[in-house]
């Protein structure tokens, strides 16, 4: 994208990403997804459909799961964003990441960051979800490989461990 | 063809007045964008004609839900998640809270707004038929002031609305007068989650003595706009609810809808499904109001009852109104086990005064009537009958034990200022006397929790009896 093109100017937009304050210059209608991937080099969020149907670009914005392909970056100003890169503590994986690994919840990996963030969002609200609640919590995230069973099992396993830890 | 962000201007004022001022300066030039679940999709496809956007996401003036007398006022910027989580919406406007749960996945429910859904004016939107049957009214705002418009008049044609270029929807008002109606919503799509409906229905109804008193039926995806089936409603009202009526309703509905062939379905399929949905609704309405139909599963029937009626029925199992209301709000329950589990959870989460209300609904051990009758007139008889069954063995006890029990009861009431609660089922008078004497040595807090646990056990037994009736 070129700055010399006729059009509107970029704006300074600050927010917190994975706990660190960041400031970017971006066109207000740039998608949060593109800013994360291209300017901040956080390539965990993936572009699947680009129209809010598949959930592979999902991130947490002020604690709420959102599809970052549908968020104009201006609307993220001042917010607190968490991407998949922000879940692990150093070398220690988040309980959900561990459970996905152990249960075979990831295959090609495109949907995985969105799936895990959707699961984080679910367990924040329902620490002991039923299988139906897990299915509903992940219903906006499409997977083309695993057939979902291992993913659902991974979330159930992570919930069990967290409650009984 | 993807859009280029540098072609677009966007501003995000922090108050509503600034937004409507901007709309007034250049009417029609600015497109309001809330959660972007529709606008950003058009943008991604390169189909967004307007080049100036004004963000109304998270404006405080548009985000609240408040009760104002006999209506509930929902800010147009409330998300589906806001609506799903709201207690009154869940309890009194089940059609709306159900539809918000069907719309998109969780991420889109966190961003999509009710006002955006109305303005987007898709004939397939799941929540719009609900707004039609609930007699919603819209408050529209501009720099010129506010105006109130009945929602059914808002949609003027396919994707055409009465919103002026300088106006925004500010509030959706719903009158709180449908809580005694049976409500039913259903969508038919390619799959349950994330699929746009082929046909959807939202309906309310009331039947008295086997005759349809009032019905309100709305359908999505069968006409250029979401529609009320007013002629079908008139055709069935005042008539006996039977299979002849179902046939009549199916015909009337077919004459009222104007479905089309498109990528999601065909006109013929939609017409058939629309008829099925109307008949299915009437059938459920009939079963719900049918008296003495013992063959029908108690829980299924209770799941579909109007809130007030459902609360009244379950109240005698516990005695606490707060408990009954919360149980009703948590419907539907998939099975008996889910209801039993929820009942314990709700009970444990109640306040001390709610526990007291439940304790007081019981008669003293050895007596047949509670000290303070339940506030709902039809409830006590069931509770009294159950108490008699539970305390059956006391009647068989010898006189000395009965007297000792009465004395200990009085001592307990003097000490703890409430009646003694024990799960009496299967226990002899002597056993209860022993328990009572032990519990007299408890401190106040221990005893409160022991009483609450006993009450929980009583409740579980009563719920099981009710479910197996």
Cα gap A133→B80, rounded to integer Å: 17
- Packing angle of the helix pair B243-256, B267-289 (nearest 10 deg): 140
Contact A29 B108 (CB under 8 A): no
Q: At CA B261, angle to CA B248 and CA B97, rounded to 5?
A: 65
Residues B315 and B344 in one domain: yes
Of the candidates B239, B262, B289, which is a domain's last residue? B289
pTM as predicted = 0.73
Residues B334 and B210 in one domain: no
Task: Sort out which chain A residues have CB atoms less than 8 A from B58's CB and list them.
Answer: 75
Residues B147 and B14 in one domain: yes
Please report, for chain A, how many H helices and E strands are present, in that order: 5, 5
Whether B276 is in a domain gets the answer yes
Contact B356, B319 (CB under 8 A): no
Contact B106 A1 (CB under 8 A): no
When the candidates are 3.40.718.10, 3.10.180.10, 3.40.50.1220, 3.10.20.30, the CATH number that belongs to A11-86 is: 3.10.20.30
pLDDT in tens, chain B (469 residues): 678 999 999 999 999 999 999 999 999 999 999 999 999 999 999 999 999 999 999 999 999 999 998 999 999 999 999 999 898 998 899 999 888 888 889 999 999 999 999 999 888 888 999 999 999 999 999 999 999 999 999 999 998 999 999 999 999 999 999 988 999 999 998 876 667 888 999 999 999 888 999 999 999 989 999 999 999 999 999 999 988 999 999 999 999 999 988 888 899 999 999 999 999 999 999 988 875 444 447 888 888 888 888 998 999 999 999 999 999 998 888 888 889 989 999 998 898 889 999 998 887 776 766 655 444 444 446 777 777 777 766 766 788 888 888 899 999 999 998 889 998 888 888 888 999 999 999 999 899 999 999 999 999 999 988 888 6
Contact B110 A52 (CB under 8 A): no
Q: What is the CATH number of the domain that holds B372?
A: 1.10.3330.10
Residues B126 and B218 in one domain: no
Interface test with A, best of B5, B12, B55 (most A CBs within 10 A): B5
Residues B160 and B210 in one domain: no
Interface test with A, best of B4, B6, B56, B81 (most A CBs within 10 A): B6
Instruction: Note the ipTM here.
Output: 0.94
Containing domain of residue B15, as a range? Answer: 1-175
The residue ranges of every structural domain in chain A are 11-86, 95-164
Contact B107 A136 (CB under 8 A): no
Residue B76 Cα, gap to closest chain A Cα (Å): 17
Residues 244-263 of B with CB under 8 A from A: none
Residues B208 and B315 in one domain: no
Q: B3 touching A, CB under 8 A?
A: yes
Of the candidates B289, B311, B342, which is a domain's last residue? B289
Contact A58 B107 (CB under 8 A): yes
What residue of A is the nearest CA neighbor of B9?
Answer: A8
Collapsed DSSP state (helix, strand, coil) of residue B201: strand
Domain count, chain B: 3
Cα gap B183→B134, rounded to integer Å: 10
Please report, for chain B, how many H helices and E strands are present, in that order: 21, 14
Q: A141 touching B, CB under 8 A?
A: yes
Residues B270 and B332 in one domain: no
Residues B265 and B343 in one domain: no
Residues B166 and B188 in one domain: no
Q: What does the pLDDT read at residue B301?
A: 81
Contact B12 A70 (CB under 8 A): no
Q: What does the pLDDT read at residue A60?
A: 98
Q: Do domains A11-86 and A95-164 have the same CATH topology?
A: no
Q: What is the CATH number of the domain that holds B52?
A: 3.30.465.10
Residues B107 and B213 in one domain: no
Nearest to B35 by CA among B117, B98, B90: B117
Residue A52 Cα, gap to closest chain B Cα (Å): 7
Whether B27 is in a domain gets the answer yes
Flag residues of chain A having pLDDT under 50.
Answer: 1-6
Residues 72-131 of A with CB under 8 A from B: 72, 74-75, 77, 118, 121-122
Phi, psi of B307 (to 5 degrees): -55, -50
Contact B193 A141 (CB under 8 A): no
Cα gap A140→A119, rounded to integer Å: 11
- What residues are paired with B199 via a beta bridge? B188
What residue of A is the nearest CA neighbor of B103?
Answer: A140
- What residues are paired with B206 via a beta bridge? B214
Q: What is the CATH number of the domain that holds B202?
A: 3.30.390.50
Cα gap A58→A138, rounded to integer Å: 11
Comparing CB atoms, the residue among B45, B58, B105 nearest residue A55 is B105
Residues written for chain A: 165
Contact B237, B258 (CB under 8 A): no
Q: What does the pLDDT read at residue B256?
A: 94
Task: Sort out which chain A residues have CB atoms less than 8 A from B194's CB and list them.
Answer: 53, 139-140
Residue with tokens 């966007």: B10
Cα gap B126→B104, rounded to integer Å: 10
Cα gap B420→A138, rounded to integer Å: 48
Contact B106 A69 (CB under 8 A): no
Domain formed by A95-164, architecture = Orthogonal Bundle (1.10)
Contact B108 A52 (CB under 8 A): yes
Comparing CB atoms, the residue among A50, A118, A140 nearest residue B44 is A50
Q: A12 touching B, CB under 8 A?
A: no
Residues B144 and B228 in one domain: no
Contact B9 A8 (CB under 8 A): yes
Contact A72 B40 (CB under 8 A): yes
Residues B361 and B277 in one domain: no
Residues 332-351 of B with CB under 8 A from A: 334
What residue of B is the nearest CA neighbor of A3?
Answer: B6
Contact B104, B80 (CB under 8 A): yes
Cα gap A122→A135, rounded to integer Å: 10
């Amino acid at each position: 994208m070129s700055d010399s093109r006729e059009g509107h100017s970029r704006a300074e937009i600050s927010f917190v990403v994975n706990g660190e304050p960041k400031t970017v210059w971006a066109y207000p209608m740039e998608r949060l997804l593109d800013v994360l991937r291209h300017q901040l080099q956080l390539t965990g969020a993936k572009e699947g459909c680009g129209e809010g149907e598949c959930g592979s670009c999902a991130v947490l914005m002020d604690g709420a799961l959102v599809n970052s392909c549908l968020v104009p970056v201006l609307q993220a100003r001042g917010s607190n964003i968490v991407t998949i890169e922000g879940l692990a503590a150093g070398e220690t994986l988040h309980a959900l990441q561990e459970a996905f690994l152990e249960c075979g919840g990831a295959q090609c990996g495109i949907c995985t960051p969105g799936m895990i963030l959707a699961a984080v969002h679910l367990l924040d609200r329902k620490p002991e979800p039923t299988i139906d609640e897990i299915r509903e919590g992940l219903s906006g995230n499409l997977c083309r490989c695993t057939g979902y069973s291992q993913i659902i099992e991974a979330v159930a396993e992570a919930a069990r461990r967290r409650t009984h830890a | 063809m993807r859009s280029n962000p540098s072609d677009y201007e966007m501003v995000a004022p922090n108050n509503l007045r600034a937004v409507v001022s901007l709309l007034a300066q250049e009417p029609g030039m600015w497109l309001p964008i809330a959660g972007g679940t529709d606008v950003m999709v058009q943008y991604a496809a390169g189909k967004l004609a307007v080049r100036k956007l004004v963000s109304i996401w998270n404006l405080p003036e548009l985000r609240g839900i408040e009760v104002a007398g006999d209506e509930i006022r929902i800010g147009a910027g409330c998300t589906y998640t806001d609506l799903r989580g709201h207690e009154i919406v869940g309890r009194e406007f089940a059609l709306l809270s159900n539809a918000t749960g069907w719309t998109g996945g969780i991420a889109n429910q966190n961003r999509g707004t009710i006002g955006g859904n109305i303005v987007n004016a898709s004939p397939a939107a799941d929540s719009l038929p609900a707004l039609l049957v609930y007699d919603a009214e819209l408050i529209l705002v501009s720099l010129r002031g506010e105006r109130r418009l009945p929602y059914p008049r808002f949609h003027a044609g396919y994707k055409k609305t009465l919103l002026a270029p300088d106006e925004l929807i500010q509030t959706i008002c719903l009158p709180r007068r449908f809580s005694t109606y049976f409500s039913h919503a259903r969508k038919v799509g390619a799959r349950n989650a994330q699929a746009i409906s082929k046909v959807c229905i939202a309906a309310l109804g009331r039947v008295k003595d086997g005759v349809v008193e009032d019905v309100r039926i709305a359908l999505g995806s069968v006409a250029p706009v979401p529609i009320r089936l007013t002629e079908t409603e008139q055709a069935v009202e005042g008539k006996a609810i039977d299979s002849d009526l179902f046939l009549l309703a199916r015909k009337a509905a077919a004459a009222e809808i104007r479905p089309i062939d498109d990528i999601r379905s065909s006109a013929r399929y939609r017409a058939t499904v629309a008829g099925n949905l109307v008949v299915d609704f009437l059938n459920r309405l009939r079963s719900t109001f049918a008296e003495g139909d013992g063959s029908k599963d108690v829980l299924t029937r209770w799941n579909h009852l109007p809130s007030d009626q459902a609360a009244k029925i379950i109240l005698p199992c516990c005695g606490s109104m707060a408990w009954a209301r919360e149980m009703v709000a948590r419907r539907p329950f998939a099975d008996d086990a889910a209801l039993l589990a929820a009942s314990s959870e709700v009970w444990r989460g109640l306040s001390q005064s709610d526990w007291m209300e439940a304790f007081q609904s019981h008669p003293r051990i050895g007596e047949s009537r509670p000290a303070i009758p339940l506030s709902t007139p039809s409830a006590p008889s069931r509770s009294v009958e159950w108490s008699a069954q539970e305390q059956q063995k006391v009647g068989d006890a010898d006189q000395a034990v009965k007297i000792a029990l009465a004395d200990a009861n009085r001592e307990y009431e003097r000490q703890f200022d409430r009646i003694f609660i024990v799960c009496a089922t299967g226990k002899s008078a002597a056993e209860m006397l022993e328990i009572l004497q032990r519990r007299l040595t408890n401190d106040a807090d221990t005893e409160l929790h022991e009483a609450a646990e006993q009450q929980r056990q009583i409740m579980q037994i009563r719920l099981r009896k009710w479910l197996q009736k």
